[in-house]
Structure 1
Amino acid sequence: MSGCNCAGWWLAAAAIIVGFLYWKMKEIYKFWQIRNIPHRTPSLIVGNFGKVFIGKQSMGDALQEIYNEFKGTGPYAGYYTMLSPTLVVLDPEAIKSIMVKDFQYFHNRGEYYNEKDDPLSAHLFSIEDDKWKRLRKKLSPTFTSGRMKMMYSTMMENAVELKEYMQETVSKNSVLEIKDVLARFTTDIIGSCALGVQCNTIKNPDAEFREIGRKFLSTDFKNTLKQLFAFTFKSFSRRIGLTIIDKDVSKFFLDRIEETIKFREQNNVKRNDFLQLLIQLKSKGYLEDNDEGEIVDDKSTLTLNEIAAQAFVFYLGGFETSSSTMSFCLYELAVNPDIQKKCRDEINRILEMNGDKLTYDCIVQMNYLDQVIYETMRKYPVLPVLTRECGKDYTLPGTTMWIPKGTSVFIPVSGIHHDPEIYPEPNKFDPERFTEEAKNARHHYAYLPFGEGPRICIGMRFGLMQTRLGLITIIRDYNILPSDKTKVPLEMDPRSFIPASVGGITLKFEKIEN
């Protein structure tokens, strides 16, 4: 009897716990109903996140659906990311409030980081509050146009290597999977400019730096679960020492940065790269030749871990985003030959005016090329969803409704970029959307490829420059065509947060004989 009684007690306890958890979830899922914010009915545990959770839908597509469904109901919609109530901002003016006007409420992204156990996760993109303010102020002068000019010669060396690789490869096989080629190109640029090392991935696809990038970006169910748990339970995840960056990746970067800094300091080696600026911030706490002329109040120095974290996010953020943009751009030029010709004609005209020398000043004159790049980033935004976290109780403008501190906020960039009321025929590739006249006719916050406000992407100038350089190198020398393996339209990978096509992007390249 005692055994039966014990089993009965256990069953009763389990029933009580399950009942409590069920009640708790139902209470959580009343969050938007109580606030009278339109929303979809959530499913238990997964909320509105079910398709994304099982890899059937990308995050960008999921939020684009929400945008399309609720954009006519008001400036906001409710969403449940598993057990986290999330505000989806649908209106450009409301987005402006979140990102700029009321920035004091939303200065954090709400990303998980763990400075103690996972030092590379504590980079500028993820850190919060005063730590972010301090680091942003120190790093902002490293990405001025003057600094870009300083790094340009290093970037040009990599462009020459890309040119040589294309000549050698296309002479043997004119059909290429271009995404991997461009990821290797951007890996080499960022390795040189951020870490001060020669990665040599354009010549060696299996080079260590390329493998590290692949390892970090690989998606599997275990990593997805870990990141979801960390996002939902940030404080608890830090208490238990949860890490989201692979230990091998972390050790590789920390060791490589430490070795490079030690070598430069011991041998008095100085280079025109991002790492040299970080070393200056490590030794002095400020940049001696600040070309913005700012007066430096905070002279606290950066630690080795802080330097490594910034170099890490610069490396990972730069090579994947720029290579994706270039790949999608070349695909669109292949299926839109009239746009490709107009782009090439501009490149040739400006190069001819500059003695066929591809200088920094020459590149920034290529307005139509920029329009083509901007349209690519509209159609394929590298960050299809922007995130913020409410730092204190906030009343939604124009309403009596409020959200409490800690509420997550999503800005559905992909939804806005594909809104036919803002961009007619949104699936059509049309660079004319980015003439000065067309841009001025739109709300400024209807185009958000780099974010906006104080937390706009700090590496925007660098990313655009390497994107321009890679595209010019290919477009001026090759006629780009769809191949038998090119999928039209592209099939997008639902498991990838950054827009990615299944199987890469395969195109045909015909050498243009001058």
Structure 2
Amino acid sequence: MQASSMEASNSSIALEISHVATPGLPVLLLGSSLALLAVFLVYFYAPFWSLRTVPGPPTRFPIGHLHLLAKNGPDVFRAIAKEYGPIFRFHMGRQPLVIVANAELCKEVGIKKFKDIRNRSTPPPNVGTLHQDALFLTRDSTWSSMRNMVIPLYQPARLAGLIPTMQSYVDALVDNIAGCPDQDCIPFCQLSLCMAIDIIGKTAFGIEFGLSRKAADAAGDDGGGDGGGDDDVKEFLREYKKSMEFIKMDLSSSLSTIMGLFLPCVQTPCKRLLRRVPGTADYKMDQNERRLCRRIDAIIAGRRRDREARRRGDAGDGAALDFIAALLDARESGGGGHGGFALEDRHVRALAYEHLIAGTKTTAFTVSSVVYLVSCHPRVEERLLREIDGFAPRGRVPGADELHAGLPYLDQVIKEAMRFHLGTYVWLAPGVLARDAAQFPEPEEFKPERFAAEAAEERARHPYAHIPFGIGPRACVGHRFALQQVKLAAVSLYRRYVFRHSPAMESPLQFDFDLVLAFRHGVKLRAIKRTNT
């Protein structure tokens, strides 16, 4: 009886203990969940804490200020600066960025404090090694050594030697305009992009892309179509176009890119995993980059063989003008090593590809902006035509000195077009500076004369209020190369045509905001042939 009673008692105690212990499991799970949430919130908001005193609009968890980018597009920084002042925070998901939108402060950051702030922000989560090995995203001593090696390739004498090549594609642009079946609806953005890509193909890669030959027929293909007859060139251009689409940072991006905005610590392992899974965006991006690398490596090998042929005297004389050949020459002659940095094929590949990214859509956008804005300002057009008609006979191609200093009003028009539709995207917010009424009275008016050397507005303006190519040592090293193309195109176009807006063109224009600003549906113009020249 006693044993039975004790067993019953023990059973009762066990049931009581079990009954008491059971509620502890949900409490433990709840506590663990709250602890994990607290750790995540601390991780997510840690970058914000050190910048909490910098003004900025309220954020939305977990996207930060990306909703403002979707709402305001290219004017997002301008809208924020108007309310919060020239220094403000902008959150890309978890990562806060300090945006500077004041000319004097830009000078402070870009020049005076350059030794302390010499690197660009962390590379975006959607770029691969093909982009990170080039000049734009390299850091510290690697960047300075690479820059010191690249800058001599943009000396005035070498750029002057590129004028005949550039002019041949400018002439093709003019011919393609003449050959368009509908002169009341010229797809100008596409045609100018074909020109810009062909110029980079010849001057950077030393090969003929051939887009301009059939540009009028393929204009609806956004300038990235199947120009030329070589299958390798077609595939290369197709892969280049895909790579530009992969760079976009929106909800259509790869999963690893989206994860990188909110949880940067898992972005790299997520990308490494997903790029091995066929069908995922990361896999497609990785495969496309591998194909691009192989094709560019093949071009580099070809340029190296050409260099050996030149050395033996089998292929003409003189130095090759294309960028890849010049880089190889610099490396072989000992100019590819600075401060312990050795230029490798992967750097040559990345630098050449950076030319294709940085020197095509930006140039096409600038040329299109100039023609679009001049076409709706008759007074500006009249003065520009007078300068172009008067500086040299129509058939003569302007020389380097004339392009640099002989067309002052064209300089003013280009500067004003770049101020009006600024195409670059950097955290110093030059687009906000360019619309600052204190620096540019009547900022919404297209007034090239504001850049005239004798203008009171130009003399009073801060020297760093207009920085379309950046500022300080990190400024675009190829800006003279780009301006030379734009000026050659403008001179040739206005010698033969004036332009008016096509009835088929949207009004007002809509823009896409990506690596560079772009016209969403292009610029469509009427081409009117001049009869008095």
TM-score bin (small chain): 0.7 to 0.9
Return the offset for 1:7: 7.1
Aligned to 1:37: 54
Distance in 2 separating the partners of 1:203 and 1:283: 35
Q: Percent identity?
A: 22
For the pair 1:319 / 2:360, whether they are aligned, the reply is yes
Aligned to 1:211: 238
Return the offset for 1:122: 1.5
For the pair 1:282 / 2:331, whether they are aligned, the reply is yes
Return the offset for 1:111: 4.1
Return the offset for 1:259: 3.8
Return the offset for 1:186: 0.2
Return the offset for 1:255: 2.2
Higher helix share goes to which structure?
Answer: 2
User: What letter matches 2:138 in structure 1?
Assistant: I
3-state DSSP class of the match of 1:476? helix
Output aligned runs, 1:219-234, within 5 Å: 219=248, 221-223=251-253, 226-227=256-257, 230=260
Q: 1:6 to 1:235 in 2, by over 3 A?
A: closer
Aligned to 2:300: 258
Return the offset for 1:249: 4.3
Aligned to 2:6: none
Return the offset for 1:9: 5.0
Q: Deviations over 1:274-311 (max 9, x none)?
A: 12211112322328xxxxxxxx9659642111001000
Of residues 512, 515, 522, the one that matches 1:504 is 522
**CA contact 1:417–1:447 (8 Å) conserved in 2:** yes
Distance in 2 separating the partners of 1:117 and 1:210: 18
Structure 1 unmatched runs, 5+:
288-295, 387-409
Aligned to 1:106: 117
3-state DSSP class of the match of 2:527? strand
Output aligned runs, 1:369-408, within 5 Å: 369-383=410-424, 385-386=425-426
Distance in 2 separating the partners of 1:305 and 1:26: 37
Return the offset for 1:225: 6.2
Distance in 1 separating the partners of 2:88 and 2:145: 33
Distance in 2 separating the partners of 1:382 and 1:445: 17
Aligned to 1:336: 377
Q: Deviations over 1:14-58 (max 9, x none)?
A: 34322432355455544433xx33222222212223233xx4442
For the pair 1:470 / 2:481, whether they are aligned, the reply is no
Give the superposed CA RMSD.
3.0
**CA contact 2:198–2:212 (8 Å) conserved in 1:** yes
3-state DSSP class of the match of 2:119? coil
Output aligned runs, 1:134-173, within 5 Å: 134-169=145-180, 172-173=182-183
Distance in 1 separating the partners of 2:340 and 2:40: 50
Greater RCO, CA 8 A, separation 6+: 1
Output aligned runs, 1:53-132, within 5 Å: 55-58=70-73, 60-71=74-85, 76-112=87-123, 118-132=129-143
Structure 2 unmatched runs, 5+:
1-17, 219-224, 227-233, 276-281
3-state DSSP class of the match of 1:202? helix
Q: Deviations over 1:159-201 (max 9, x none)?
A: 22222222222x6533112111111100000000000000011
Return the offset for 1:5: 7.8
Q: Deviations over 1:409-428 (max 9, x none)?
A: x3221111111222122111
User: What letter matches 1:139 in structure 2?
Assistant: V
3-state DSSP class of the match of 1:356? coil
Aligned to 1:460: 479
Distance in 2 separating the partners of 1:231 and 1:476: 49
More deviation, 297-306/184-193: 297-306
Q: 1:26 to 1:299 in 2, by over 3 A?
A: closer
Distance in 2 separating the partners of 1:225 and 1:334: 44
3-state DSSP class of the match of 2:90? strand
Aligned to 2:208: 198
Q: Deviations over 1:64-119 (max 9, x none)?
A: 11211122xxx5223322212222223222211110001011111114179x9724
3-state DSSP class of the match of 2:445? coil
For the pair 1:443 / 2:484, whether they are aligned, the reply is no
User: What letter matches 1:176 in structure 2?
Assistant: I
Normalising by structure 2, report the TM-score.
0.80
For the pair 1:176 / 2:186, whether they are aligned, the reply is yes
Distance in 1 separating the partners of 2:102 and 2:66: 22
Distance in 2 separating the partners of 1:228 and 1:147: 43
3-state DSSP class of the match of 2:419? helix
Q: 1:282 to 1:120 in 2, by over 3 A?
A: farther
Aligned to 1:421: 438
Distance in 1 separating the partners of 2:270 and 2:392: 57
Return the offset for 1:367: 1.1
**CA contact 2:423–2:518 (8 Å) conserved in 1:** no
Normalising by structure 1, report the TM-score.
0.83
Distance in 2 separating the partners of 1:312 and 1:13: 49
Of residues 66, 89, 95, the one that matches 1:49 is 66
